[in-house]
Amino acid sequence: MIKVAVIGDGGHGKVVKEIVSARTDTRLIGVLDDTFSALQYSGELYTGPADSIQELRRLIPDIVFVLAIGSNIVRKQLAERLGLEQKDFVSLIHPSAMISKSAKVGHGTVVMAGAVIQAGAIIGAHSIINTGAVVEHDNRIGDFVHLSPRVTLTGAVAVSEGAHLGAGAVVIPEMSIGRWSVVGAGAAVISPIPDRVTAVGTPARVISHFQT
């Protein structure tokens, strides 16, 4: 049985905790969030701030973690702040998700209910493949990406680090989404999206630039 602590107790954290419970090979041991003041044990669950992670590891040496933070940039900042190794993170895949045997899912990534990841797709670390999202064959998804519910990436799409695609966005084959860019809900991407922009509409057009 894999002992899991979820880092993040917001709305996204609720969904991640349910994935842990839905699997037969994982057990929820703790929830860490900065809303808690100190590490405590209720008899069933450890709770505490994120910085109590080392204390929890001393108590349960074989525990692994998942970052249940919806914001891509905050998730990356927290990963860097905690300073854990790859082996300390677990990838969580909902039992109803469909993952090709030839696909690869990076450490700390969460794949939610009803998602589909097809042949040859590669998903980076600490990404979110949300409810019902479709990642078709030969996609390349970077670290700290978030594909919102019902996003559809057709064949050979490249999504770079930190990008966020809103609910129902569709990307045609062989397109690219730049680093830390945002694609609005329902957008249709038919041309490459550069780094650090917001693009919306059908077809998707850049409406703003920003720095991260």
SS (H, E, C) 124-172: CCCCEECCCCEECCCCEECCCCEECCCCEECCCCEECCCCEECCCCEEC
Q: Is 137 one of the catalytic residues?
A: yes
Identity at 192, one-letter amino acid code: P
d(C-alpha 150, C-alpha 167), whole Å: 6
Give every strand in the sheet of 46-48, ordered side by side: 40-41, 46-48, 26-32, 2-7, 64-67
User: Active site residue: 12, 94, 107, 137, which one?
Assistant: 137
- Distances from the Cα of 124 to the Cα of 34, 113, 146, 197, 199, angstroms: 26, 19, 11, 21, 22
Neighbours of 138 (CB within 10 A): 18
Q: What are phi and psi of 208, to 5 degrees?
A: -160, 155
The 10s digit of each residue's pLDDT in 136-164 is: 999 999 999 999 999 999 999 999 999 99
Q: What is the mean pLDDT of residues 119-135?
A: 98
pLDDT of 211 higher than 80: no
| Domains of the chain, earliest start first | 2-88 (3.40.50.20), 92-203 (2.160.10.10)
Question: Which pLDDT does position 43 carry in this prediction?
Answer: 85
pLDDT digits (tens, 9 = 90+) for 190-210: 999 999 999 999 999 999 998
